[in-house]
Amino acid sequence: MKDIQNSIDKRKLSINKTGIKHLIYPMKIACKGDRYQTSVCEFDMFITLPHNFKGTHMSRFIEIVEKYRTKIINLDIIGEMAEDIMKKLEAKSAEIKIIFPFFIEKTSPISKKKSLLNYQCRFVCAIKGNTKENILEVRVPITTLCPCSKEISKNGAHNQRSHVMIRVNSSRKIWIEDIIKLVEKQAPCEIFTLLKRDDEKYVTEKAYKNPKFVEDIVRDIVFQIKKDKNIIWYGVGVLNEESIHNHDAFGYIEGGKTPKCIHWRYS
C-alpha cells in the first residue's frame, strides 16, 4: 500500500507542529507518597515535520499513549513520552500537553469532615534538539473578598468564586499538592466541597478578615514563588467571577526565564 505521508514535498515549508488534539484517555497520575490516582486526560501531541516530508503518521501518537497507559505518569514521564515520539517519528522536536482533573481530600476547618476537591492540572513538555522544558499548571478555586467593597460599605463586602491559574517551570521535581497548598495559603479563604454550619461561619469570617483584590492575590502568590530558587519561570493569573457584575476581573504576573520551546501562540 502506498505511503503517501512519506512522499516528498516540494513547497520548502517545514511544519512547526503536526499531530493530534483532543484525545481523551484515562491515565494514572502520580501523587505524593508513592501513590497515584486515575484521572481522565485530554492529550495534545505534536512533532516538527521537516520541509521535505508530506505528512506525519498520526496513528503513532496513539501507539505511544497506549504504551504508557498502565504506567504512573508525572512531568518526567511525559518527557519520556515526548522522547519516544521523537524517535518513533524521527522528528527533531516534540511537544505534549495533557489536561486532567486532580483530586485532593480536604478536611473542613471546624467539623473536620472529609471531602474531595478537584483541581484542573496540566503537564506540558517540549523538546527541541537538546533542550527539554517542562511546565506544570494547576488551577485552584478559591473565595475572594473585595477590600474596596468592605472599606466603603456599612456591612458586608462582595465576594465570589475565583480561580488561580499557576504555571511553573522548575529545575527540581515539584508536586501538584505543594503548589495547591502554596496558593490556598494566599487566598482570602480556601474553599471546600463539604462544609457544615460551623465551617461556613469560619470560612465567611476568615474571608471577611482577609480582603484582597486580584492584584493582591497574584502578588502574594508570586512573592512566595520567588522564594523557591528552583523555579526558573512562573506565570500566575487570578480570575474573579465578580458577584456584582456579569464579567470577570483578572490579574497576571510572570517572571523568570521565558520558556523557549513551549509557547502558546497556536493554542
Residue with cell 456591612: 155
Q: What is the phi-psi region of residue 33: left when phi exceeds 0, alpha when psi lies from -120 to 50, beta otherwise? A: left
Number of residues that bind a copy of itself (CB under 8 A): 114
Position among 31, 104, 128, 147 found at the interface with a copy of itself (CB under 8 A) = 147
The grid coordinates of residue 253 equal 504576573
Beta carbon of residue 37, minimum distance to a copy of itself (angstroms, whole number): 7
Q: State which residue, 33 or 244, has the beta carbon closest to a copy of itself.
A: 244
**Which secondary-structure segment (H or E) carries 106?**
strand 93-107
CA gap 128, 58 in Å, rounded: 20
Q: State which residue, 23 or 83, has the beta carbon closest to a copy of itself.
A: 23
Q: Which stretch binds a copy of itself (CB under 8 A): 72-80, 83-91, 153-161, 178-186?
A: 153-161
Beta carbon of residue 147, minimum distance to a copy of itself (angstroms, whole number): 5
Q: Which stretch binds a copy of itself (CB under 8 A): 17-25, 74-82, 126-134, 179-187?
A: 17-25
29 lies in the binding site for a copy of itself (CB under 8 A): no
Report CA-CA distances (Å) from 184 to 80, 142, 175, 206, 232: 31, 7, 15, 13, 22
Beta carbon of residue 83, minimum distance to a copy of itself (angstroms, whole number): 21
The grid coordinates of residue 227 equal 522564594
Beta carbon of residue 80, minimum distance to a copy of itself (angstroms, whole number): 20
Enumerate residues 56-115 that contact a copy of itself by CB under 8 A.
56, 58-59, 62-63, 66, 69, 101, 103, 113-115
Q: Which stretch binds a copy of itself (CB under 8 A): 44-52, 73-81, 168-176, 179-187?
A: 44-52
CA gap 19, 17 in Å, rounded: 7
Q: Which stretch binds a copy of itself (CB under 8 A): 80-88, 121-129, 178-186, 217-225?
A: 217-225
CA gap 255, 235 in Å, rounded: 7
The angle subtended at Cα 136 by Cα 143 and Cα 118, nearest 5°, is 40
- 126 contact partners, CB below 8 Å, separation of at least 6: 82, 93, 94, 95, 96, 132, 133, 259, 261, 262
Position among 31, 208, 228, 256 found at the interface with a copy of itself (CB under 8 A) = 208
224 lies in the binding site for a copy of itself (CB under 8 A): no
Position among 93, 134, 143, 169 found at the interface with a copy of itself (CB under 8 A) = 143
Query: Letter for the amino acid at 52?
Result: N
SS3 category, 9: coil
Enumerate residues 232-251 that contact a copy of itself by CB under 8 A.
235, 237, 239, 241-251
